[in-house]
Amino acid sequence: MTENEDYLARIGTLIRDARQHSGLTQAQLATELGTSQSAVNRIEKGQQNLTLDTVSKIGSALDSELVGLGSSGPSNLRVQGETTLSGAIDVKSSKNAGVALLCASLLNTGTTVLRKVARIEEVNRLLEVLTSIGVKTTWLNAENDLELRVPATLDLSSIDADAARRTRSIIMFLGPLLHRAGTFQLPYAGGCDLGTRTVEPHMSALRHFGLDVVATDHHYQATTSAVTGARRPIVLTERGDTVTENALLAAALYEGETLIRNASPNYMVQDLCFFLEKLGVTIEGIGTTTLRVQGKAQISTDVDYAPSEDPIEAMSLISAAIVTRSSITVRRVPIEFMEIELALLEEMGLRHDCSEEYMAENGRTRLVDVTTHPSDLKAPIDKIHPMPFPGLNIDNLPFFAVIAATAEGQTMLHDWVYENRAIYLTELTKLGANVKLMDPHRVLIEGPTRWSGAELVCPPALRPAVVILLAMLAAKGTSVLRNVYVINRGYEDLAARLNKLGARIETFRDI
């Protein structure tokens, strides 16, 4: 294979993975690009020469920074491995809570101030959407405090469709907007078709508030009608986090009582409930699967709220310590949402200390400082699988792949929630791990691993991408992780913060 053919094949594989992660078929991507399915097929097989303009258009359609036009290309990381970390690091505020609170700001025509908001790409896209419809957004200081002022009338006709399609969180605009506009259009990300598992539970919940949604060409066409007859409890068909949040956002501006059953009690849902209470909404059952909400017909109040810390980032940092056999202190860990993970790690042999509990700035979430110690781990007896809270968090499952690869013995991971996410964990084999894909949901990992450096393209899935970066910290020699936009969507300055602990990670761009 010539150097050019190898380059085209790598780009083709990257495009295929990004397309599949976006939920698009080859035919749907071809429609987006104004070309044929056969052309897309040739591109993914590395059999088609590509211009920078074509690659840029593909990246835009798939919400993946495949190439950056102008002075530089996509951001990459160069990692000098066999790192030992030391020191202490604070967990940043929850990305998922921050996203929900940005959507919730649409409920309030007063001034909303959110403290220490994660400045990540997902938040940037939502702010672009909010600004386009008339919301005034202002970063107040270097602490990432954010002020939002929502006008009495939103200009939904001017919505930034490109930014909206680049965030899956846009679906959580439906809950607050159904009370503020009788008829409106909302763009949706490619692949989010009505009737699919990820979207239909939202529609089922919001129909209780009179919302009717029809999927048109890349839009939700929404119409709201008055609710008549006796109100029934909303029974969520899926105990999803964003589904529960959407139902809560709709219930907050409904002047009456709403009963939500099979609700998610997860960390970002609790943060949203605490925020809504500060807006004057009454909520019973926070932290349980049954929520009783007494909403208000209008909300106009000045509110100041600090979302709690992110348990997924906490798991990321603890995993970094484990794989590098390091002693570090991870401060401000939301222990209620990490207890199962830490208990499982104890079973595997992790030695660690926890401080006394203290309160987060929201006054409700319990925090601890966790200090890790170098440990010889053994594979758990049973498979590792996620469960709804208070079980092991689905977003923390991938970190057990890199942890299991450092442990003695065989570990089975069962990612039963997501289709095909497990396949990205097999990329660890390129760094020396023994990871076998059993089926689209299960991988078998045998350790311990003698990690060795390699060059990889970042997979289009956030948590597996970070898992690869953590393995590179332990790998002998130099590794390169290309196109890390997906990591920047969910983490703020992760490489720089790891460097403060002793990692040697360099950010660079291809010219």
With contact defined as beta carbons under 8 Å apart, do 371 and 403 qualify?
Answer: no
Task: Decide if pLDDT at 221 tops 70.
Answer: yes
pLDDT at 21: 60
- Residue 68 banded pLDDT, cuts 50, 70, 90: very low
Mean pLDDT of 307-332: 97
Mean pLDDT of 436-454: 94
Strand blocks (E) in 91-237: 111-114, 136-139, 146-149, 183-187, 211-216, 219-224, 234-235
pLDDT at 23: 63
Task: Decide if pLDDT at 156 tops 50.
Answer: yes
Q: Which two tokens stand for residue 219?
A: 């839009």
What letter represents residue 357's amino acid? E
With contact defined as beta carbons under 8 Å apart, do 319 and 470 qualify?
Answer: yes
Q: Which two tokens stand for residue 304?
A: 């100041």
Mean pLDDT of 286-293: 96
- Give the burial string for 301-335 (b: 16+ CB within 10 Å, else e): eebebbbbbbbbbbbbbbbbbbbbbbbbbbbbbbb
Mean pLDDT of 85-90: 97
Give the model confidence (pLDDT) of 477-496 as tens digits. 999 999 898 898 889 889 99
Task: Decide if pLDDT at 420 tops 80.
Answer: no
Q: Map tokens 């390091």 to a residue.
A: 326
pLDDT at 27: 82
116 φ/ψ sector (left φ>0, alpha ψ -120 to 50, else beta): left
Cα→Cα distances 204→98, 100, 209, 237, Å: 25, 19, 10, 8
Mean pLDDT of 103-110: 96
Sequence-ordered list of residues with C-beta below 8 angstroms from that of 333, at least 6 positions apart, any chain: 91, 309, 311, 314, 318, 367, 368, 369, 370
DSSP 444-474: EEEE----B--EEEPPSSHHHHHHHHHHHHH
Strand, helix or coil for residue 261: strand
Task: Compute the chain's Rg from CA coordinates.
Answer: 23
CA 287, CA 257: separation in Å to the nearest integer?
Answer: 18
Other beta carbons within 10 angstroms of residue 52's beta carbon come to 12
Q: Which is higher by pLDDT, 344 or 181? A: 344
Query: Order of strands across the sheet with 478-482?
Result: 455-457, 478-482, 75-80, 504-509
- Residue 332 banded pLDDT, cuts 50, 70, 90: very high
pTM given for the model = 0.83
CA 403, CA 323: separation in Å to the nearest integer?
Answer: 6
Average pLDDT of the chain is 89
Phi/psi for 34 (5° steps) reads: 70, 35
Q: Which is higher by pLDDT, 146 or 69? A: 146
Closest CA to 131 of 118, 147, 110: 147
Give the model confidence (pLDDT) of 178-220 as tens digits. 988 888 888 876 433 333 446 788 888 898 998 988 877 778 8
Strand, helix or coil for residue 97: helix
Count of residues making up the chain: 511
Task: Decide if pLDDT at 69 tops 60.
Answer: no
**Range with the lowest mean pLDDT among 25-29, 85-89, 250-254, 299-303?**
25-29
Give the model confidence (pLDDT) of 250-278 as tens digits. 999 998 899 999 999 999 999 999 999 99
CA dihedral over 62, 66, 70, 71, signed as positive or negative: positive
pLDDT at 63: 61
Other beta carbons within 10 angstroms of residue 45's beta carbon come to 13
DSSP 113-133: EESS----HHHHHHHHHHHHT
Give the model confidence (pLDDT) of 347-382 as tens digits. 999 999 999 999 999 999 999 999 999 999 999 999
Closest CA to 503 of 475, 483, 484, 482: 475
**Range with the lowest mean pLDDT among 70-79, 104-113, 217-226?**
70-79
